[in-house]
Every structure is written in structure tokens, then in C-alpha cells.
Amino acid sequence: TKQERVARFVCAAAYYDPVEKTIVCCEESVEGTISREIRGTSGFGYDPIFIPNGYSTTFGEMGEEKHKLSHRYKAFSKLFSKLDRLLNYRI
């Protein structure tokens, strides 16, 4: 069943500042399902079998479009944004 094939990618991104002794953390995820077949040659790991919700193609079949949906992209974008605000606040 579709429910048995539910999947989630999760990425936690963190930065530690040893001088200020602060930690900044972010976590993001992308929900989807596992394909019944390997499709696509892009990406790595589970990309050829992971279909994000709302799409019919696997991450392995996507090009740049995957990066907008990526749990890593979202987590690190959020982390960099937090760091930017933190650094601008300190200046």
C-alpha cells in the first residue's frame, strides 16, 4: 500500500561558535514515498527511489528542481539566514 511506502528525508544543520560558546541549529525535512523501481541517475543514495509529495518523478530524475525541495538545501539555507542575522546583530 502507499502508506507502507511513506518516507521522509531529514537534515539537521548546526554551527558552533567556540568564542561566543553558542550553537545555532536548524532542521528541515521533505516528505514523500518510495518508488517501486529505481528511476533516474542524478543525485546519490536514495535519490533514485524517493518521490517527493506532489511530484511523480524521483529525486534521481530531477535536475535543479530537486535543490529547491531538498531537506539539505532548506536546512542549510535556514542556518545561513540565522547566522547572517546573528552576525549582523553583533556588528
Percent of the chain with pLDDT over 90: 73
- At residue 60, φ and ψ (nearest 5 deg) are -65, -20
pLDDT confidence of residue 80: 95
Confidence category of residue 90, pLDDT binned at 50, 70, 90:
low
CATH class of the domain whose range is 3-90: alpha beta
How far is Cα 73 from Cα 85, in angstroms, rounded to an integer? Answer: 18
Listed by start position, the domains of the chain span 3-90
Q: What average pLDDT score do residues 14-37 get?
A: 94
Confidence category of residue 1, pLDDT binned at 50, 70, 90:
low
Q: Is 89 helix (H, G, I), strand (E, B) or coil?
A: helix
Write the single-letter amino acid at 81: S
C-alpha distances (whole Å) from 41 to each of 5, 38, 63, 72 are 21, 9, 10, 19
